[in-house]
Amino acid sequence: MTGPTSRRTLLRTVGAAAVALPVLAGGVGRPAAARAQRTYEEGGAAAAGTFARFVGTCQGSDTTTGVPTIGGMAWDRTDVFWSAAQPTDAPIGQEYLDALTKKWTDAAAAGVTVLPILDSTAPWAVRTDPYTFEFGPNTYAVGPVLSSTDDALHRLVTVTDTATGTPVSSTEEDISRSSTPPRSVDEWTAYVDAIVGALHSVGVRYFQVWNEAWLGGGFWYGGLKDYLDTVHRPAARVIRSYDGAKVVYGGWAAIGGVDNYIATLDRYDAWGDVDVFDMHYYQPKDMETLHAAAPAEYPDPPIWQTEIGWTSDTSLVSRSYPRVFRWALDHGLATDPDHHKLFWFAWAGTPENCLWGGSAPTAHGASVQTLSGLLPGTDVTPFTAFRTDPVLPFDLATDQSSAEGFAVGDTAVVLALHVAHGAAPSSVTVTFDSVPSGATVRRVSILGAGTDLDWTSPGVVSVPLADGDSDSAAINAAAPTTTCYVRVAW
């Protein structure tokens, strides 16, 4: 399974019309099962706490009448397709821009920030002339259009080894119009300027440029240099011309690998063209790899994963989110609540992979909700004044044992404990350096089932690893680690 393919599948599932603003206004095209869900408007706006701003979802406001409530997530992400904004080469209409800004202001009034994705070449704006590009060790020559449909261009693509000139392949392909490079940088930037100008006027500051520009991923049929020169950099210049606006890279595809991401940024001197370095479907440790590779002139770069998840592995949230959140607090999140983020893909559409199951949260959604309930408010900081037996050193690898500690204001402490399977103990002994008199201690399962515990001695508690609720137990049994939470309150 790859992220790009799955993303296309989901968008087909919810219907292409679900992302068109006139359709959203009437609610037509969204899954029937999603119509009964609560929204922020009905359930109350999420407080913009540190964890709430750290988590988000994708297409939440496209598949529903409102913005999702699960976990009090303060962020959503959705496409502003060029083709939807500008179906023909006529200027973008004011009616569209008014509907666009209303969608964003409605979300903001409910406590949610929506990240717009500026992407996909409009069908009328594609280049039809022959062009060449390099990708990996090969040079691709895309020939004239042999035939076409509304969605694709049929062309001969000849591939040669760049170093030797040796032919590799020559095949006729149907190349989607949306992934074909634009014919004109000026037409592309005119669209970008219209959307950024409209949304910036209502307070939007982050703008994502394209989605997964990687040959073979389905969203870009060109090379990385061509993408940077004709799409990303021109859009970045427009975005940065607006006060305080930030450029989010268009989601480095999972099939690209973090080493290629770093090499591309280095090779094309592109670190300075990005304000937020986004990646899709990567392990937490890959975020640290990217962070460590940043040049000295770009220290502590903001790193988001605007697509993570899209899996039936219901342990992923509990195994990864606490680790990344703890790492993020040590790398800029404590002073900038938008420095690092995780967006689960997606809100709805395929219940086993998404947050919303149609009438209730899925296990993924319930796992996010549990963490949000344990980590409320804006005063959440790293907590290290404890030790465990067996020792659980902090580890970003999601299949390894680890412990993460968080102070929640001055009235609670929350620990996430992950114990790798194998010679695992039946319990973990936690010793706190200091606990206020009268403090209570509680074990919380990954799905939110709580069990009161007793102190075995002052500041010492034995935390059983066995879950009291069968659903959490089943998830942990199938995972490489058993995860649970400990909350001490006073």
pLDDT in tens, 204-240: 999 999 999 999 999 999 999 999 999 999 999 999 9
Quick one: how far is CA 206 from the chain centroid?
14
One domain, residues 155 and 58: no
Characterize the bridge pairing of strands 427-432 and 131-135.
unpaired
One domain, residues 38 and 155: no
Domain finish residue from 352, 374, 396: 374
CATH number at residue 461: 2.60.40
268 touches 224 (CB < 8 A): yes
One domain, residues 100 and 78: yes
- Nearest C-alpha neighbor of 176 from the set 218, 145, 209, 208: 218
b/e string for 415-450 if b means 16 or more Cβ within 10 A? bbbbbbeeeeeeebebbbeebeeebebbbbbbbbbe
One domain, residues 415 and 364: no
Domain finish residue from 340, 374, 408: 374
One domain, residues 151 and 186: no
CA separation for the pair 301, 276 (Å, rounded):
7
Characterize the bridge pairing of strands 206-209 and 246-248.
parallel
Which tokens sit at 292? 């460590």
One domain, residues 230 and 264: yes
One domain, residues 58 and 118: yes
Q: Give me the residue label for tokens 């400990």.
A: 486
State which residues of the chain have pLDDT below 50: 1-47, 65
Q: Kindly report the number of other CB atoms within 10 A of residue 185's CB atom.
A: 15
pLDDT, residue 26, reads 23
Q: Give me the residue label for tokens 């919810």.
A: 14
Characterize the bridge pairing of strands 131-135 and 167-176.
unpaired
CA separation for the pair 359, 416 (Å, rounded):
29
Angle between helices 94-109 and 185-200 (to 10 degrees): 40
Characterize the bridge pairing of strands 113-119 and 455-457.
unpaired
One domain, residues 356 and 403: no
One domain, residues 39 and 166: no
- Nearest C-alpha neighbor of 57 from the set 307, 360, 326: 307
Q: Give me the residue label for tokens 């393919």.
A: 5
357 touches 405 (CB < 8 A): no
Domain finish residue from 351, 374, 397: 374
**Boundaries of domain holding 79:** 3-124+180-374
CATH number at residue 220: 3.20.20.80
pLDDT, residue 14, reads 35
One domain, residues 170 and 189: no
- Nearest C-alpha neighbor of 317 from the set 274, 265, 371, 270: 371
pLDDT, residue 68, reads 60
C-alpha to C-alpha distances, 216 to 179, 260, 393, nearest whole angstrom: 10, 15, 39
One domain, residues 93 and 208: yes
pLDDT, residue 66, reads 53
Characterize the bridge pairing of strands 152-161 and 167-176.
antiparallel
Q: Give me the residue label for tokens 């009090």.
A: 72
One domain, residues 272 and 343: yes
DSSP 173-237: EEEETTTSPBS-HHHHHHHHHHHHHHHHTTT--EEEE-S---TTSSS--S-HHHHIIIIIHHHHH
CA separation for the pair 333, 379 (Å, rounded):
12
Structural domain total, the chain? 3
pLDDT, residue 422, reads 87
pLDDT per residue as tens digits for the range 472-489: 999 999 999 999 999 999
CA separation for the pair 419, 141 (Å, rounded):
52
Q: Kindly report the number of other CB atoms within 10 A of residue 108's CB atom.
A: 16
C-alpha to C-alpha distances, 203 to 111, 206, 242, 248, nearest whole angstrom: 13, 10, 11, 16
Q: Supply angle C-alpha 259, 261, 265, rounded to 5.
A: 120
